[in-house]
């Protein structure tokens, strides 16, 4: 069965200029642009942890498995090149499942000119697990790191946050193109993607950069999904209460997959900042009057919409 599945995948994979040898040999061979460095990331998504196969469209599961990896490349400002995909398929219905997963994977790969270079397809008595490794390229020294934020840098996010559980955790667009544009137009000093929530991920960036941060809570872009989710959860709340609930979702929900960036204070983009990097450790909220209060770091625990 596995040979047939691999053969079916092979026939659906698009050619790619970087691909010298693709699916079917012991390994894939790809070209590297002269002078570039390699950026590699891997993510494993598992039934019951990252999704519930019983209640989620497998096409979306496949798409997400690749999208989270592309988001990690975006966080490094890397240009995607190739991917290898390993599957642990439940024995029952594995053949149909793999077709659906690739219905989600292949269009996203095409959208970001990513070569599907190979993989490993297996069946077992366990639940579905999907492990994807993606690589891309950067100019030496041009990758964005978590560890290079400087005191006084401004905080920036690429989009509105919160309520991703309603749908966006499966349908988000990895910020690959936005990262390339920002790499050219802005003085980005550090970056990461927001996978576990703004507060916890900002705390990680600060730990890596040995600094703290202040957030201007009124400037944090709250996604409409955060408001919708708050309305579902608190149908009788007042508008002020709803605003507070939605902000909480924007701060602590995970799976936004927007980029969190630090920008040099002299950069024009700094005008739209949501806060700034401080020498004082910890994450603080700044009120309109400039007063600070420490925020509790609260982040994402893997959740699903059952």
When binding is defined by CB under 8 A, the residue of 5, 64, 72, 102 that contacts its own copies is: 72
When binding is defined by CB under 8 A, the residue of 15, 92, 125, 293 that contacts its own copies is: 125
Residue 163: φ, ψ to 5° = 75, 20
Contacts 24+ apart (CB under 8 A), 92-98: 94/1, 94/5, 94/123, 95/1, 95/4, 95/5, 97/58, 97/128, 98/5, 98/8, 98/9
Compute the half-sphere exposure of residue 77: CA atoms within 13 Å on the CB side of its CA: 25
User: Which residues pair with residue 123 across a beta bridge?
Assistant: 89
The answer to whether 193 is a known ligand-binding residue is: yes
Q: Tell me if 51 contacts its own copies by CB under 8 A.
A: no
Q: Tell me if 256 contacts its own copies by CB under 8 A.
A: no
The answer to whether 153 is a known ligand-binding residue is: no
When binding is defined by CB under 8 A, the residue of 6, 53, 145, 269 that contacts its own copies is: 145
Nearer to its own copies, 149 or 214 (CB): 149
The answer to whether 111 is a known ligand-binding residue is: no
**Rg of the chain (C-alpha set):** 21
Both tokens of residue 80?
């995607």
In the block, residue with structure tokens 């730990």? 207
When binding is defined by CB under 8 A, the residue of 13, 23, 66, 87 that contacts its own copies is: 87
Nearer to its own copies, 193 or 267 (CB): 193
Q: Tell me if 127 contacts its own copies by CB under 8 A.
A: yes
The answer to whether 119 is a known ligand-binding residue is: yes
Q: Are 212 and 281 in contact (CB under 8 A)?
A: yes
134 by Cβ neighbours in 10 Å (0-12 / 13-18 / 19+) ranks as buried
The answer to whether 289 is a known ligand-binding residue is: no
Q: Are 90 and 126 in contact (CB under 8 A)?
A: yes
Q: Tell me if 73 contacts its own copies by CB under 8 A.
A: yes
Q: Tell me if 107 contacts its own copies by CB under 8 A.
A: no
Residues in binding site: 26, 41-43, 50, 72, 119-120, 146, 193, 195-196, 255, 300
Which residues are near its own copies by CB under 8 A? 20-21, 24-32, 34-44, 46-49, 72-73, 75-76, 78, 82, 84-88, 117-120, 122-127, 129, 131, 133, 135, 138, 140, 143, 145-147, 191-193, 208
Residues in binding site for substrate: 50, 255, 300
């Amino acid at each position: 069965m596995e040979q047939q599945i691999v053969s079916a995948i092979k026939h659906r994979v698009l050619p790619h200029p970087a691909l010298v040898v693709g699916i079917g040999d012991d390994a894939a061979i790809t070209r590297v642009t002269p002078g570039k460095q390699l950026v590699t990331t891997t993510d494993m998504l598992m039934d019951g942890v990252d999704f519930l196969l019983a209640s989620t469209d497998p096409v979306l599961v496949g798409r997400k498995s690749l999208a989270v990896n592309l988001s990690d490349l975006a966080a490094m400002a890397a240009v995607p090149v190739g991917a290898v995909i390993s599957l642990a398929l439940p024995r029952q219905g594995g053949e149909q499942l793999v077709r659906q997963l690739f219905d989600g994977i292949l269009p996203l790969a095409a959208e970001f000119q990513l070569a599907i270079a190979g993989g490993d397809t297996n069946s077992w008595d366990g639940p579905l697990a999907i492990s994807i490794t993606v690589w891309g390229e950067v100019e030496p020294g041009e990758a964005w790191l978590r560890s290079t934020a400087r005191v006084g840098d401004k905080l920036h996010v690429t989009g509105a946050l919160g309520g991703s559980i309603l749908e966006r955790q499966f349908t988000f667009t990895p910020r690959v193109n936005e990262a390339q544009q920002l790499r050219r137009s802005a003085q980005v000093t550090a970056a990461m993607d927001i996978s576990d929530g703004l507060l916890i991920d900002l705390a990680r960036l600060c730990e890596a950069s040995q600094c703290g941060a202040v957030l201007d809570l009124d400037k944090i872009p709250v996604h409409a999904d955060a408001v919708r989710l708050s309305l579902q959860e608190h149908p009788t709340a007042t508008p002020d209460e709803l605003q507070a609930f939605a902000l909480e979702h924007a701060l602590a929900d995970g799976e936004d997959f927007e980029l969190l960036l630090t920008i040099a204070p002299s950069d024009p983009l700094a005008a739209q900042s949501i806060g700034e990097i401080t020498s004082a450790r910890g994450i603080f909220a700044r009120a309109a009057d400039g007063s600070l209060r420490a925020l509790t770091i609260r982040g994402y625990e893997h959740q699903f919409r059952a």
